[in-house]
Chain A
Amino acid sequence: MLLGIGAFCFFSHSPLALKLYPLCINALLLAVFAYSLVPPKGKPRPKLPPSMAFRFALLADKMKPTPTLQGSLGEKRVAIYCRKVTIAWCLFFVCNGGFSLFSVFWLSDAAWALYNGGISYILIGTFFAIELALRKMTDKTLPKAIPLSAFTPNSRKADAVLCFSGTFSEKQYKTWKDFLAQTAALRKTIEATPQTRWILHCNDYWYFLLAYTALLQCKKEVLLLPNISKAYIAEIAADNASTTSATPDKPSASLALLCDTEEALALLECSFHVPRIVEAHTVETSTAQPSTADAKLAFPTIHPEEACIVIYTSGTTGKPKPVKQRLKELENDNAFVLSQWGEECLKRKVCSTTSPQHIYGLLFSVMLPFVAGIPFRRERIEFPETFTTLNDDSYLIVTVPALLKRAVEALAPPTQEAAPSQTPVGGGEKSDKRGVGLRSPWVFSSGGALPVETAAATEQVLGFWPVEIYGSTETAGIAWRQSKQGPEWRPFEKVHLEKNAEGCLLVKSPYIQNAKGFATGDKVQLLPHGRFLLEGRADMVVKIEEKRISLTEIENRLLHSPLVAEAAVVALEGKRQFLAAAVVLNEKGKAHFKGAEKFRVNQYFREYLQPFVENTLIPKRWRYVEALPKNPQGKQQKQALQQLFQPSENDLPPAKDEKLKTLLLPQGIFATVLRQTENEALVALAVPDSSLYFDGHFSGFQILPAVAQFELIEACAKQLFGPHMPLAQPGVQPSVHSARRLKFSTMVSPNMRLHLELQLEKPAQNAKQNLSFVRFALKSPDQNTFYSTGAIGYEACERKGL
């Protein structure tokens, strides 16, 4: 096109056309540059369109041997900068073109030639030079992602803040300088120890980062354990001894330990206290000037494909399962998170409720802030109250559903707690008051699916609807979602998903070393655009409050006891998720526990399991039976097992002497009447996940629809109060006439334990005699959550057929 215009101007032999040529070029460039700024149409919320300058920048970047721009932490800022440059060029073309136009018609030929042939080019050159200088300056302020495998002593400024204690404004910082000096001190100790495999267990994220870095720098293998009891470590050591050439008589000699608690020091002969090494070093260096030159000389780099991290988790075999990860894949995972949410992360400080000994905690609470240079809180948040202190700055909270569920309950504004049972109307304007008043926080949740109601409550109490990450120890991150936008998961970049023959999710991704991918035990439903829904586990692995455990592991461990003949474990859920065990004692066991109180027997087995599994994973309920419910199909046995743990009658609220009455409701659902008088009743029920009520209404979401709730409540009311209604007469039965003030405020999930409170209204004086109202409130057994409230009106309806 340029050539075309040039050719026309040249060959037309018209001096005017020739003189207009520079103007045409300016106009053309203006059009191209300006067009690149126009947002593309059709999309609801278009991203920043790639401006002309940004397209050039990407092109130039791609010609480099290792492109660094695309997907980088600073990409968005570069794009914004390039947009400004593009706008500046547009203005330049307008001015330059304008003056060129002026010179064609109002200036002499000589002046035209001087401007268009000389000055104009000098201006372009100057403009370029200024932009280049600006670009260099901007480049220095761009956030740089520096993974563990790429940092050097000069990667960040000496006083750059890496970590803080308490809140950020308290200014108790650890800096880049501390990081370099303290990792060097740790390296000295580590290098002086021959062991190649090191268990790392630190509660403090700062100590964890130091020890983690130092171990990898010294080319040691890092072992992360969910549980550091003596017995558990002995198992790992024994496993280790069988695969390596360590001395078989003393397997634990092949392992070393770095920790930050006094108690853990006793676990292995070769163990070191990170804080002590670090503090000793600080004293040392405060007297002698630190020789940074020395540190730089001896600075070892970490090779991302050789550095090895072994994370132990519960496998299907019932033994601790080592999952070996290379640093490379973990860093790829970090890079994706930063390319997706980097800008949001950079605006905040990281604080976490998740142990760094777990892959999610490791990736998000330690590695991610380190890579992006975001200050992180060194103490773990354990109690909801701590959130109330985090209002001095903007924070990114790394947490799990188990803590979020309780935190939103503990921190919910008191107006909700005081919701009276008689009139749960109103209060709407008060309930959206923020509970904690955090400053534009961000919340990541992982480890298990976050119930929608908890996510919604988090938005209300903490001020952010959490972004959930789906992943596992073997695969690192797989997908993410923000359930506000729907229940389906969106895959991480470059993640390839398939459904295998077992109906489970097969993952291939840059975050997994094995090119064949990894088959998860999660049943999946694939949706268009690579999205998917998760539909439970296919194997015996369950999650108890986000802690993964193979039921077989617990069963096998119980079977190892000399007192047990058979054992079966199931996962149950009440107020919390927990395991329950049914045990068949052998003759020795029966003799041993003869006459013992049941809680003592429970205690025996609890203590028996304690060395091997975390407290959360020790069964909370126990049944000692003559035989386990057996059936050819595993599933039936599971149901029969669960039946064993149905709450016994004395579990229910007191104050009733007659036998509990059971109501049969639509869809074969049973309800237990806990309390009933002539005009008031309390009923307990739960709708099982197998119920047809959960089919179809909300695809993917298991929620009890309002119609179903109404149908169940109405059936209860009719059965309980039918005979007491003033309209009751032989041959007449009540039928629904109308409903008042129906309010479905919180979603009901499958198997949730529900309490239904019913009250038969006294007929008002002026009311019609043949109309009766029953008020209801469907709520959680602890009275804290109201699912639905309202009143149902009944009228007399003649019995047909009979």
Chain B
Amino acid sequence: MEELKLEIKELIVSALELEDIKPENIVDADPLFGEGLGLDSIDALELGIALRKKFGIKFSTESADNRKHFASVDALAAYIMTQAGAETGK
């Protein structure tokens, strides 16, 4: 799980071309959007694209669900785990 979280953080930094911030500066439970990292809706879309590519996951068709998944590194990691579980469960 910790490894996955670090991977997500690295992806956030590289996919969003963040400057000055290192993956370890990102706090797992902090909100990614709005306050905290201060990311915006465009970043959410970009991050979505990067996550789809890297982890081969799909997001929900419901905006409300996606907002929850994108809330923090913790939430993202949990979502990727369930998605991966669903894949192997098939």
Query: A: which residues have CB within 8 A of B?
Result: 379-386, 388-389, 402-403, 406-407, 409-410, 417, 545, 574-576, 597-599, 602-603, 606-607, 610, 614-616, 618, 620-622, 651
Contact = CB atoms under 8 A, between A and B. Distances in A.
Interface in B25-78: 25, 33-35, 38-46, 48-49, 52-53, 58-63, 66-67
Given A607-B35, A615-B41, 19 more contacts: A380-B63, A382-B63, A382-B66, A383-B63, A385-B58, A385-B61, A385-B66, A406-B42, A407-B45, A410-B45, A410-B48, A410-B49, A576-B46, A599-B20, A606-B38, A616-B40, A618-B38, A621-B19, A651-B17
B1 interface: no
Given A386-B61, A599-B21, A410 B42 contact: no
Contact of A383 (B38, B46, B53, B59): B59
Interface residues of B, number: 31
Contact of A406 (B19, B33, B39, B46): B46
A614 B40 CA distance: 8
A423 to B, nearest CB: 21
Contacts of B45: 383-384, 402-403, 406-407, 410
The 10 closest A-B pairs by CB, nearest first: A406-B45, A615-B40, A382-B63, A599-B20, A616-B40, A598-B20, A599-B21, A385-B61, A389-B61, A606-B38
Contacts of A389: 61
Nearest to A603: B38
B40 A610 contact: no
A379 B41 contact: no
A545 B39 CA distance: 14
Interface string B1-36: 000000000000000011111100100000001110
A599 B63 contact: no
B12 to A, nearest CB: 13
- The secondary structure that dominates the A interface is helix
Contacts of A606: 38
6 contacts: A385-B58, A386-B63, A602-B21, A606-B38, A616-B40, A620-B19
Contact of B46 (A381, A575, A607, A622): A575
Nearest to B67: A382
B60 to A, nearest CB: 6
Nearest to A783: B53
Interface of B: 17-22, 25, 33-35, 38-46, 48-49, 52-53, 58-63, 66-67
A615 B39 contact: yes
B42 A622 contact: no
Nearest to B50: A782
A380 B39 CA distance: 20
Given A386-B61, A409-B49, A598-B20, A616 B41 contact: yes
Contacts of A385: 58-61, 66
Contacts of A622: 19-20
Contacts of B42: 402, 406, 545, 576, 616
B48 A384 contact: yes
Nearest to A645: B19
- Residue among A610, A616, A620 with the highest chain B CB neighbour number at 10 A: A620
A621 B21 CA distance: 11
B70 to A, nearest CB: 9
B59 to A, nearest CB: 5
A379 B17 CA distance: 31
Nearest to A781: B17
Given A406-B46, A576-B46, A615-B34, A382 B19 contact: no
Contacts of A382: 41, 63, 66-67
A574 B14 CA distance: 12
Contacts of B62: 386
Counting chain B CB atoms within 10 Å of each CB, which of A384, A385, A621 scores highest? A385
A36 B43 CA distance: 58
B2 to A, nearest CB: 22
Among B21, B40, B53, the most chain A Cβ lie within 10 Å of the Cβ of B40
Given A385-B59, A417-B53, A610 B48 contact: no
A610 B38 contact: yes
B39 to A, nearest CB: 7
B87 to A, nearest CB: 15
Nearest to B38: A606
